[in-house]
Amino acid sequence: MLSLSSVTKRYGDVTALDRLSVNVPDDSYVSLLGASGSGKTTLLRVIAGFEEPDGGKVIYDGHRLDGVAPHRRGIGFVFQNFALFPHLSVADNVAFGLRYREEEPVTDPSELKARVADAIRLVGLEGLEARKVTAISGGQRQRVALARTLVTEPRFVLLDEPLGALDANLRERMCDELRAIRERLKVTFLHVTGSETEALLMGDVVAVLSAGSIAQVGPASSLFALPKSADVARHLNAYNVLSGRVVKGGFEGAGARFALPGKQAASDGAPIEVALRFDRISVRPAGATAADPAGEAAIRARFIASEFTGASVLSFFRLEDGTLIQVVAHLSGPAPQAFTKDELYELSFNPQDVIPFIERAA
């Protein structure tokens, strides 16, 4: 198990990692979700040893890793830009670690050949062994980078936005393959990404990195269903976040007022943030005082624009106080309504679906 405790890393006045603590279990696929600038890459570089932390500890199976030179840590790193050796062939790139590593290099040519061939077969690059890495496609380079790392049999592999440089089709295929490869090798993958869909799809466990520390860790489905803070909710790109105040155990703000689910311990007037999923909102024209289903809450908002994304339509509304609200309508349901720009609409939802975050704002 890899555990980081209170790891801090500063660059001048900027604190990239702020007393970050996290445990990464063995034999698992962990995805680390973070916006750009949240310290994702710094975290990986600290684990790999390219940077040393200013404070805190990095411990792997009871051994301190910080302070150990990167080439003695036994941790694999797959770079975002692949970082292949441009003057070597595919096979020589893959063989590099085994051949030239300081500890226990593989000197027997036949063993070297067999292991390189295995790694190349693992990532499906048979037939390209003699090619220069400058003469293969982006997806193939990604595979070389992966094979080059995996052939050295690290128990822990760091993947820095490994799919970022690939086009959408290829990305989906690589996702499946990465998971399959990991399951076959029984190693730990720590996959860093800025895409919430990728993080949720890939990770057995998802960790959300925000402002230099881990905001939440958990299985993908529970993390998505129940974000612990407004920050995590924002990262998931599936929640509208409203801010307001607690009034009589309910929420008031942004031109809305509704009861909150469960009992709220917060006193009146305490600031509060609530998250409301994009797909839990229905829209109807304002003023049409249709029968309000019991317990429904509603906010008035002006329609701005819609985006057609294939299987669903994403609509943008603006509240009176300027907050942007997104609504998702799935096209599998009844035909979506056509909205008129700058018209007022009523956005209604069940207050039981709202997730309140009092402790964070308090």
Partner 1 sequence: MMEIAGEQIRSAAPAMGEDNGVSPAERRDRQERRTALMLISPGVLWMTLFMVLPMIMVVYVSFWTQTTFTVEPKLTTDSWVRFLTSSTYLASTWTTVRIWGIVLLSTLLIGYPVALFIGLMVRNQTLQTALLVICVIPFWTSFLIRVIAWRPMLGTEGAINMILMKLGIIDTPLTSLLFSEFAVLIGMTQIYCVFMVGPITFMLSRIEPSIIEAARDLGAGFGRIFFKIILPLSLPGVIVGAIFVSVMVLGEFATAASLSGRKVNLLGNIIVSQVGSLKWAFASVAGVILTVIIAVVITALLRVVNLRKEM
Site residues (vs partner 1, CB under 8 A): 48, 50, 69-72, 74-77, 79, 81, 83-87, 96-97, 100-103, 148-149, 152
Least distance (Å) between residue 69 CB and partner 1 = 8
Q: What gap in Å lies between CA 176 and CA 181, rounded to an integer?
A: 9
Q: What gap in Å lies between CA 297 and CA 293, rounded to an integer?
A: 9
Of the pair 81, 221, the CB lying nearest partner 1 is at: 81
Least distance (Å) between residue 61 CB and partner 1 = 18
Phi-psi region of 165 (alpha: psi -120 to 50; beta: other; left: phi over 0): alpha
Least distance (Å) between residue 251 CB and partner 1 = 48
Q: What gap in Å lies between CA 33 and CA 275, rounded to an integer?
A: 19
Of the pair 11, 50, the CB lying nearest partner 1 is at: 50
Of the pair 120, 272, the CB lying nearest partner 1 is at: 120
State the DSSP string of 193-220: ES-HHHHHHH-SEEEEEETTEEEEEEEH
Nearest residue to 306 (alpha-carbon basis) of 286, 287, 283, 289: 283
Q: What gap in Å lies between CA 91 and CA 69, rounded to an integer?
A: 26
Of the pair 74, 255, the CB lying nearest partner 1 is at: 74
Q: How far is CA 222 from the centre of its chain?
A: 14
Least distance (Å) between residue 143 CB and partner 1 = 15
Measuring CA to CA, how many Å separate 170 from each of 137, 143, 173, 336? 11, 11, 5, 31
Of the pair 140, 315, the CB lying nearest partner 1 is at: 140
Which residue is it, tokens 């499946």?
176
**Which pair of structure tokens corresponds to residue 156?**
């822990």
Least distance (Å) between residue 229 CB and partner 1 = 33
Least distance (Å) between residue 312 CB and partner 1 = 38
Nearest residue to 242 (alpha-carbon basis) of 275, 282, 278, 279: 275
Of the pair 23, 80, the CB lying nearest partner 1 is at: 80
Least distance (Å) between residue 244 CB and partner 1 = 46
Least distance (Å) between residue 135 CB and partner 1 = 12
Measuring CA to CA, how many Å separate 258 from each of 90, 247, 267? 61, 9, 16
Of the pair 48, 174, the CB lying nearest partner 1 is at: 48
Q: How far apart are the first and last CA of the chain?
A: 35
Of the pair 44, 355, the CB lying nearest partner 1 is at: 44
Q: What gap in Å lies between CA 93 and CA 134, rounded to an integer?
A: 12
